[in-house]
Chain A
Amino acid sequence: MVELIIWTIIKILFILFFVTLPLAGVLTVVDRRESSMIQDRIGPNRANLSGDVWDLSKRWRFLGLLHLLADGIKMIFKEDYSIKSGNRWIHTFAPILAFFPGLVILSIIPFGGNVTVFGSSTNLQIASFDSGMLLAFAFSSIAVYGITLAGWSSNNKFSLLGGVRATSQMLSYEVVLGLTLMGIFMIYGTLELNTIVQGQQSLKVDGTPDLLFGFLPKWGIFLQPFAMLLYVAAATAETKRAPFDVPEAESELVSGFFTEYGSMKMGMFLFAEYAEVVIFSMIFTTLFLGGYHVPYLYDSGFILPFGWGSLSINPTLVGFIQMLTFLLKVIIVAWGHLVIRWTLPRFRYDQVLRLGWKMLLPLALANIIITAIVLSFI
């Protein structure tokens, strides 16, 4: 019991304060730097630690990463004004409703294999929950309240329109999101994420690796490539990022549902968006990219395909290698997600909804039916 609590605290602190929040913070800067590189600008690079040094090349700027710190401090020490005309209570607490549900999803994500430290063994997953993925869906549907109420309570035309748009977009794509992943659940036979990860790269009963065509690991991306594409589209829309960012379309709605927010309250909406990107990347990695698995690395060490030999490694070392692999995969997926944002033009609002209801939904259904037929005849 005590061991469980201590491990849980360690895991929560690690995944929240050493992975998700810092990564989300870094992504805010990376997003701006990457956009400037894509658009042939310089981008934010002026924040520095060395003070008033005249020569720019001698300033300690750390690639502009200090803007993360500068932005955070600025947001905290800005004036926190609140409007008088709307609903002040809901206006104040809406950022919390938008921010915290995403973080709860972290509790079901396995971020590493089994590790043993000081004789105490644990899975690097905060909670092994039988309906794991449903918990993720449930809490991401709670996040809708934050957006809706922020738009409603602001008593502002732009906010309300942004909030209504955001809500109906998120609701539409929640349907698609559930349907796209159904194929994965069918193949691995569970909603629990750690079991899905283990199903993606496992040993057969006789101890030989369970591989596709003799060399491909059974990752979701190889078994459900079509579902992966649909999932990326649906998840991008669910996080309300470009090309689906119509709820906060700057050219139409000022900044959508958080027009009336300032200081860290607005920061929480922005931060929630990047935290959602990180969590999306984690779920994507878990479901489609084999989670924490390194190709051909099993609990006891490497077993290469085609009988090219094997190499045994200390199981705890394997656990830590897997943890680092997971983080690496998450960073790569998050980076790819940012590239999507800066390379595709924005959809119109009717196009967003039509894409969800008239294209992604039937395609996802077709994917389920085909998967079901194929699975029942294998």
Chain B
Amino acid sequence: MGVYIFYLFGTGLIATSIVAILMKNPVHSVLSVVSSFFFLAGIYAGLSMQFLAVIQILVYAGAIMVLFIFIIMLFDLQKSEYSKDRFLWRDLVPLALILITAAGFISAISRSESIKNYVANAKLPSNFGSVSAVSFEFFGTSNSVGRFSFLFEVISILLLSAIVGAVVLAKRKL
């Protein structure tokens, strides 16, 4: 069951991503990327990571891409300013390189005995992927600090620097 969900959504993800590159109109590209995020959320859901799946839609599709759309609207691109890139045969060279590298990685991973053993012996907790499981990793349990507690605090500094950066962009001074 899980593997078919992966194939279904994976195909959709690749297709929409390719469409996003090929579209001339930036708004069409953004919409295509948004639908690719839905497919990605589907893959997450198929892997039982339902919190991540919802967050993928909530943050990426619902917030970040809205910002993209907003910027495109505010920049006011005319049709004459759309990308004029045309397909060239030499564009296939990097594509081929990427595909060969990816194939190498995939075959290396799938041949690796240690990964295979890890996968075979992997035991998932019964609440894997739920919101509370994520929470215990971040905030620990009643008598211990969680695995990612420190990283969680660092994220706030990252967000703070993002705030400062946005203000500097708008105001040109600190």
Could you tell me if B70 and A167 are in contact, using CB atoms closer than 8 angstroms? yes
The complex places the Cα of A141 from the Cα of B55 at a distance, in Å, of 12
Could you tell me if A171 and B66 are in contact, using CB atoms closer than 8 angstroms? yes
Interface 9-mer from B11-19, B57-65, B147-155, B163-171: B57-65
Interface: B27 (CB within 8 A): yes
Could you tell me if B131 and A130 are in contact, using CB atoms closer than 8 angstroms? yes
Interface: B100 (CB within 8 A): no
Q: A87-B25, A90-B27, A131-B54 are in contact. Are A145 and B131 (CB under 8 A)?
A: no
Could you tell me if B66 and A149 are in contact, using CB atoms closer than 8 angstroms? no
The complex places the Cα of A191 from the Cα of B31 at a distance, in Å, of 29
Question: Closest residue to B69 on the A side, CB-wise?
Answer: A148
A78-104 interface code vs B (CB 8 A; 1 in, 0 out): 000000000101100000000000000
Could you tell me if A167 and B55 are in contact, using CB atoms closer than 8 angstroms? no
For residue B3, give the distance in angstroms from its CB to the closest CB of chain A.
19
Interface: B161 (CB within 8 A): no
Could you tell me if B62 and A160 are in contact, using CB atoms closer than 8 angstroms? no
Interface: B40 (CB within 8 A): no
User: Contact size class for A?
Assistant: 20 to 34
Which residues of chain B are within 8 angstroms of A152 by Cβ–Cβ distance?
A: 27, 69, 73
Which residues of chain A are within 8 angstroms of B58 by Cβ–Cβ distance?
A: 134, 137-138, 141
Interface: A278 (CB within 8 A): no
Interface: A135 (CB within 8 A): yes
Q: A129-B50, A131-B50, A149-B69 are in contact. Are A144 and B27 (CB under 8 A)?
A: no
Which residues of chain B are within 8 angstroms of A90 by Cβ–Cβ distance?
A: 27-28, 31
Could you tell me if A141 and B66 are in contact, using CB atoms closer than 8 angstroms? yes
Which residues of chain B are within 8 angstroms of A131 by Cβ–Cβ distance?
A: 50-51, 54, 130-131
B53-91 interface code vs A (CB 8 A; 1 in, 0 out): 011011001110010011001100000000000000000
Which residues of chain B are within 8 angstroms of A138 by Cβ–Cβ distance?
A: 54, 57-58, 61-62
Interface: B34 (CB within 8 A): yes
Which residues of chain A are within 8 angstroms of B131 by Cβ–Cβ distance?
A: 130-131, 134, 191
Could you tell me if A167 and B50 are in contact, using CB atoms closer than 8 angstroms? no
Which residues of chain B are within 8 angstroms of A87 by Cβ–Cβ distance?
A: 25, 27
- A141 contacts which of B25, B51, B61, B73 (Cβ < 8 Å)? B61
Could you tell me if A149 and B27 are in contact, using CB atoms closer than 8 angstroms? yes
- B62 contacts which of A89, A130, A144 (Cβ < 8 Å)? A144
The complex places the Cα of A90 from the Cα of B69 at a distance, in Å, of 13
A-B contact count (CB 8 A): 68
Question: Closest residue to A163 on the B side, CB-wise?
Answer: B73
For residue B52, give the distance in angstroms from its CB to the closest CB of chain A.
10
Could you tell me if B51 and A145 are in contact, using CB atoms closer than 8 angstroms? no
List A residues 151-179 near B (Cβ within 8 Å).
151-153, 160, 163-164, 167, 171, 174
The complex places the Cα of A191 from the Cα of B66 at a distance, in Å, of 25
Q: A130-B130, A134-B54, A164-B73 are in contact. Are A142 and B27 (CB under 8 A)?
A: no
Which residues of chain A are within 8 angstroms of B50 by Cβ–Cβ distance?
A: 129-131
- B73 contacts which of A89, A139, A160 (Cβ < 8 Å)? A160
Which residues of chain B are within 8 angstroms of A139 by Cβ–Cβ distance?
A: 57
Which residues of chain A are within 8 angstroms of B51 by Cβ–Cβ distance?
A: 130-131, 134
Could you tell me if B73 and A144 are in contact, using CB atoms closer than 8 angstroms? no
Question: Closest residue to A137 on the B side, CB-wise?
Answer: B58
Footprint of B on A, CB under 8 Å?
Answer: 87, 89-90, 129-131, 134-135, 137-139, 141-142, 144-145, 148-149, 151-153, 160, 163-164, 167, 171, 174, 191
User: What are 10 pairs between A and B in contact, CB < 8 Å?
Assistant: A87-B25, A89-B28, A135-B54, A138-B54, A139-B57, A141-B58, A141-B61, A141-B62, A142-B57, A152-B27
- 4 smallest CB-CB distances across A and B, nearest first, come from A141-B62, A138-B58, A138-B57, A134-B54
Query: A87-B25, A141-B62 given. 12 additional CB < 8 A pairs?
Result: A134-B51, A135-B54, A137-B62, A139-B57, A141-B57, A142-B57, A142-B62, A145-B31, A151-B73, A153-B27, A164-B70, A167-B70
